[in-house]
Amino acid sequence: MSAAKLIEFNSLDADIQELIMASVEARNYSYSPYSNFKVGAALRSEDGIIYKGCNIENSSYSVTICAERTAIAKAVSEGKKKFVALATVADMDKIFVTPCGVCRQTIYEFGDIPVYLTKSTLGTVLVTSAKELLPFGFHLQDASA
């Protein structure tokens, strides 16, 4: 993948816009009573199916699950392991919110896929990749297997 770049939402391909809008929809289902910080993610599998996830908080913070891992868990639990893109959006309009370290490693487990990070305003999208987010990610096996 090339270096991260900023692209206007309206200039993205329709399938990427659809993926981003699915992440916005997923954010609406966030269970975040402690932080009130809502995050949504959408993951497109190789066959075109979109899996959505939101963050799910817990009063024991260490068992909270992020939106990205929720989407990945849903896809993997349906037998999908090859993905073409991931989009995330958070309740922030001034900065891009990137996946946490655990999510970066989880995304990287499934290959160097494009990652689209969006502010809540949906104006500009930061386009990056799993490898750019985690340049020295840990792998025991080939992610394409």
User: pTM of the entire structure?
Assistant: 0.92
CB 131 within 8 A of CB 108: yes
CB 55 within 8 A of CB 38: yes
pLDDT of residue 142: 61
Contacts of 13 (CB under 8 A, 6+ apart): none
Residue 75 is encoded by which pair of tokens? 């896809």
pLDDT of residue 2: 58
Q: In what order do the strands lie in the sheet with 39-45?
A: 5-8, 124-129, 114-118, 83-90, 39-45, 50-54
CB 143 within 8 A of CB 108: yes
Determine the Cα–Cα distance for residues 67 and 87; give it in Å rounded to an integer.
10
pLDDT in tens, 4-41: 899 999 999 999 999 999 999 999 999 999 999 999 99
Q: Which of 8, 18, 68, 109 is catalytic?
A: 68
Told to judge if 25 belongs to the known catalytic residues of this protein, a careful annotator would answer: no
CB 55 within 8 A of CB 31: yes
Question: Which residues of the chain carry a pLDDT beneath 70?
Answer: 1-2, 141-145
CATH for 5-133 is 3.40.140.10
Q: Is 30 exposed, middle or buried (0-12, 13-18, 19+ CB in 10 A)?
A: buried
| Beta-bridge mates of residue 10 | none
Contacts of 106 (CB under 8 A, 6+ apart): 68, 69, 72
124-129 vs 83-90, strand pairing mode? unpaired
pLDDT of residue 140: 79
